């Protein structure tokens, strides 16, 4: 049975598992050389939300959500239409190992994320979701969408695929 938990702080095995989950969940050309350092820094920031999906004692999925305004600063050159909103979080990464997809793991992660955001007084989310693998359509079925628009040839992380920018409420 899949379960998800918010994790705080970091340890080396957690960082290594996050890097491996990302590596095994996305196309190989998306892998970046400083991934361990990147996730160490993200894990040290208490404003970020990290959720690990597990099956028994095996880590099989991961979600990283950051304050929306940090995403706006980071992605401004790639998505000029993003606007600041201090009461919103941005889902930067969500991945589940292929063997564990289709088992409602994303729903389990979303429930934990929703609870954590409510605890922080936040009710709004945003993200860029891939179109080619139908992830955007999955998001649209699972969330209350308030805005959606397509960014053609999204260059930031998926090398020119289209991505839907989505804003949603919990």
Q: Which long-range CB contacts under 8 A does 139-142 form with residues at least 24 apart?
A: 139/164, 139/166, 139/168, 140/166, 142/106, 142/107, 142/110
Name the band, by pLDDT with cuts 50, 70 and 90, for residue 26.
Answer: confident
pLDDT of residue 162: 85
Segment 116-138 shows an average pLDDT of 92
Name the band, by pLDDT with cuts 50, 70 and 90, for residue 40.
Answer: very high
Instruction: Give the structural domain span for 44.
Output: 2-169
Q: Provide the CATH number for the domain around residue 65.
A: 3.40.630.30
Q: How far is CA 34 from the centre of its chain?
A: 18
* Residue 60: how many other CB atoms lie within 10 Å: 23
Calpha distance 91→49 (Å, rounded): 9
Query: What is this structure's pTM?
Result: 0.93
Residue 157 predicted with pLDDT over 70 = no
Residue 158 predicted with pLDDT over 70 = no
Number of domains forming the structure of the chain: 1
The pLDDT mean for the chain works out to: 92
């Amino acid at each position: 049975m899949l379960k998800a938990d918010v994790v705080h702080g970091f340890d080396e095995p957690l960082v290594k598992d996050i890097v491996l989950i990302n590596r095994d969940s996305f196309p190989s050309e998306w892998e970046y050389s400083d991934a361990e350092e990147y996730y160490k820094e993200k894990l040290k920031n208490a404003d970020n939300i990290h959720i690990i999906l597990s099956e028994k004692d095996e880590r099989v999925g991961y979600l990283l959500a950051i304050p929306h305004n940090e995403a706006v600063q980071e992605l401004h050159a790639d998505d000029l239409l993003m606007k600041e909103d201090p009461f919103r979080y941005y889902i930067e990464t969500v991945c589940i190992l292929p063997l564990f997809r289709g088992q409602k793991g994303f729903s389990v992660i979303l429930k934990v994320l929703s609870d954590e955001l409510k605890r922080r007084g936040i009710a709004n989310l945003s993200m860029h979701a891939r179109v080619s693998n139908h992830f955007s359509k999955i998001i649209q079925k699972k969330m209350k969408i308030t805005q959606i628009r397509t960014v053609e040839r999204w260059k930031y992380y998926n090398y020119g695929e289209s991505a839907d920018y989505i804003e949603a409420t919990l």
